[in-house]
Amino acid sequence: MSEHHTRAELFRSLHTPGSPLVLVNAWDAASARIVAAAGARAVATTSAGVAWSLGASDGDVLGRDAAVGLVGRIAAAVSLPVTADIESGYGTTPAEVGATTRAVLDAGAVGVNVEDARHDDGGPLRDVSDQCARIGAVRAAADAAGLPLYVNARIDTFLTGAGGLDETVARAVAYLAAGADGIFVPGMVDPVTVRALVEAVPAPLNVLAGPGAPSVGELAGLGVARVSLGSAVAEAAYTVARRAADEALGAGTYGALADALDYGTLNALMR
Average pLDDT score over residue span 170-188: 98
Q: Do the domain assignments include residue 201?
A: yes
Would you say residue 1 has pLDDT above 90? no
- Cβ-based neighbours of 264, under 8 Å, separated by 6 or more: none
How far is the C-alpha of 178 from the C-alpha of 136, rounded, in Å?
Answer: 5
For residue 88, the one-letter residue type is S
User: What is the domain count for the chain?
Assistant: 1
Would you say residue 242 has pLDDT above 90? yes
Q: Do the domain assignments include residue 121?
A: yes
Q: Do the domain assignments include residue 53?
A: yes
Q: Domain containing 176: what range?
A: 3-232
Q: Do the domain assignments include residue 262?
A: no
**Tens digits of per-residue pLDDT, 79-122?**
999 999 999 999 999 999 999 999 999 999 999 999 999 988 88
**Tens digits of per-residue pLDDT, 8-58?**
999 999 999 999 999 999 999 999 999 999 999 999 999 999 999 999 999
Q: Do the domain assignments include residue 252?
A: no
Q: Do the domain assignments include residue 103?
A: yes
Q: Do the domain assignments include residue 243?
A: no
Residues 6, 185, 150: CA angle, nearest 5 degrees: 15
pLDDT of residue 183: 99
pLDDT of residue 175: 99
In degrees and rounded to multiples of 5, residue 108 shows phi and psi of 110, 0
* CATH number assigned to the domain comprising residue 166: 3.20.20.60
Q: Do the domain assignments include residue 257?
A: no
Average pLDDT score over residue span 176-185: 98
pLDDT of residue 26: 98
pTM higher than 0.85, yes or no? yes
pLDDT of residue 122: 81
259 band by pLDDT with thresholds 50, 70 and 90: very high
* Sign of the dihedral through C-alpha 161, 165, 170, 171: positive
Average pLDDT score over residue span 225-252: 98
**Tens digits of per-residue pLDDT, 121-165?**
888 999 999 999 999 999 999 999 999 999 999 999 999 999 999
**131 and 93 in contact (C-beta within 8 Å)?**
no
pLDDT of residue 195: 98
**24 and 35 in contact (C-beta within 8 Å)?**
yes
244 band by pLDDT with thresholds 50, 70 and 90: very high
